[in-house]
A = this chain, B = another copy of it.
Amino acid sequence: MANPTAAMLVIGDEILSGRTRDSNMYYLAGELTRHGIRLTEVRVVADEPAAIIAAVNALRAQYDHVFTSGGIGPTHDDITADAIAAAFEVEITHRADAMALLAAHYDRSGLEFNDARKRMARIPDGAVLIDNPVSTAPGFSLVNVHVMAGVPNIFQAMVASVLPSLTGGEPLLSQSLRVNRGEGEVAGPFGALAAEFPDLSMGSYPFITNGAHGTNLVIRGTDAGQIGRAMTRLAALFG
């Protein structure tokens, strides 16, 4: 059975301007791989409604799941929820379940539940809330689009909330061999081996350590036996 596919959409001027180094992509990639969901594309777009809407609609049509990060806070630049509603052409309101969660949270913390904070209860019709154990303000899933915060520890908590509910596939496995030869030395035999195992994906990643060229050879797939056989061949070639 083929693994489910996913795309990620990072919404953030702060990434595109070089102010912030994204860490959510790396985190999500690892989590999805462990869950047997194949991350197939990532896009990063600016905090612009048209850009978000176009990307969400392109990605949700093409992949089994779309995970978004960023733009669901209380400030004027937090426009993701409205853009998702527009992409699906559904209404968006201050939803009662989200309002209740937030009202209780601000009541406990003694902070005013002001209009800005109420913005975080704006949820598109038909969406299911994603639990946020860090700071309460929820994410949401609408059909196959999972909308999460950009702050890394909140993003990670939301991924942990949503991922167990999604059907994964066979684990995506990988093994690698580090060889002390440049890519140009290993390319011929490695390519021939890759051609012998069409169900596996083989990649080579060069590095330079102390001026010496080396290459990490990586074999990916879902069939552990086949990966093992390929690794044995690889070790015989370059070990």
Residues on A lying within 8 angstroms of B by beta carbon are 10, 13-23, 25-26, 28-33, 38-47, 51, 73-77, 111, 114-117, 119, 151, 153, 172, 174, 182-188, 190-191, 194-195, 201-208, 218, 220
Indicate if the CB atoms of A17 and B41 lie closer than 8 Å: no
CA distance A185 to B114 in the complex (A): 8
A115 to B189 alpha-carbon distance, docked (Å): 12
Which residues of the other chain, B, contact A115 by a CB distance below 8 angstroms?
188
Chain B proximity of A189: nearest CB distance (Å): 10
CA A205 – CA B14 in complex, angstroms? 9
Least CB distance from A237 to B in Å reads 13
B188→A19 contact, CB < 8 A: no
Tell whether A187 pairs with B111 under 8 Å between CB atoms, given A15-B29, A18-B32: no
Is the beta-carbon distance between B191 and A76 smaller than 8 angstroms? yes
15 contacts between A and B (CB under 8 A): A13-B201, A18-B28, A47-B203, A73-B206, A74-B183, A74-B184, A74-B187, A75-B186, A76-B194, A77-B202, A111-B182, A111-B185, A116-B183, A116-B191, A151-B207
